Amino acid sequence: MLIYKLGKGSREKVQQFMTITGASEKVALQALKASDWHLEGAFDFFYSQPQISAANTRRLEEMYNKYKEPDADMIMVEGVSQLCNDLHVDPQDIVMLVISWHMKAATMCEFTRQEFIGGLQSIGVDSIEKLREKLPSLRAELKDDHKFREIYNFTFNWAREKGQKSLSLETAIGMWQLLFAERQWPLLDHWCEFLQVRHNKTISRDTWTQLLEFVKSIDPQLSNYDEEGAWPYLIDEFVEYLIENGFVQRK
């Protein structure tokens, strides 16, 4: 909707809106349309969204440039360490995983421009300080069942080596330990031990996703485990391993 097609009154409102909020014309039109051309409603609309103004977008670009590689359009390992430093968090901290999830990052320890900026926008911050303040609430997202599942499933693709279909065992174990420290799964140590002793190969996506179901639905005594069910064979083997070694009682 081009502005010259609007009536005089509407055009004025757009101008006013832009002046007050610093938003772009496009955003102004969007907000006013959403509020049926009432200025106050448009303000409410604008500020209830995590919309960043033009100035904010500039700030985000500055942030990105601070951390990106000198000769590539990516933030890589060094930049990420720097970022963690500035946030006062350990690079191994699980909150980095949450942030990466918001950014929809394709690979561990790498952010493209779009991922970085888009992610921060969706989190709703435009500076390091603001991001630092947000850290507790980001951590809290792990407590939400639905979000945890999304983050968990995201982790598989994210932690994979580029071009690989499955996840290396070492990385998988590391990730599981990280994720289930938050969720307290009593069989975690046995699981990792079992994998190293008996499996010693990569982890498929199916195994990864099904493990979460296993953790969520099967009690640590395995009283409701159905070996005739559709569990992946690796989990069946794990159950056998637990029974063989006397970690749980056979039914």
What is the contact surface with another protein in residues (CB under 8 A)?
165-166, 204-207, 209-210, 213, 228-230, 232-233, 236
Q: How far is the CB of 204 from another protein (least distance, A)?
A: 5
Closer residue to another protein (CB): 41 or 232: 232
Convert the chain into a string of H (helix), E (strand) and C (coil): CCHHHCCHHHHHHHHHHHHHHCCCHHHHHHHHHHCCCCHHHHHHHHHHCCCCCHHHHHHHHHHHHHHCCCCCCEECHHHHHHHHHHHCCCCCCHHHHHHHHHHCCCCCCCEEHHHHHHHHHHHCCCCHHHHHHHHHHHHHHHHCHHHHHHHHHHHHHHHCCCCCCCECHHHHHHHHHHHHHHHCCCCHHHHHHHHHHHHCCCECHHHHHHHHHHHHHCCCCCCCCCCCCCCCHHHHHHHHHHHHCCCCCCC
Q: Indicate the residue among 62 and 213 with the shorter CB distance to another protein.
A: 213
Residue (122 or 223) nearer to another protein, CB: 223
Residue nearer to another protein on the CB measure, 107 or 204? 204
| Smallest distance from another protein to CB 205, Å | 7
Q: How far is the CB of 218 from another protein (least distance, A)?
A: 12
Q: Could you tell me the smallest distance in angstroms from the CB atom of residue 154 to another protein?
A: 16
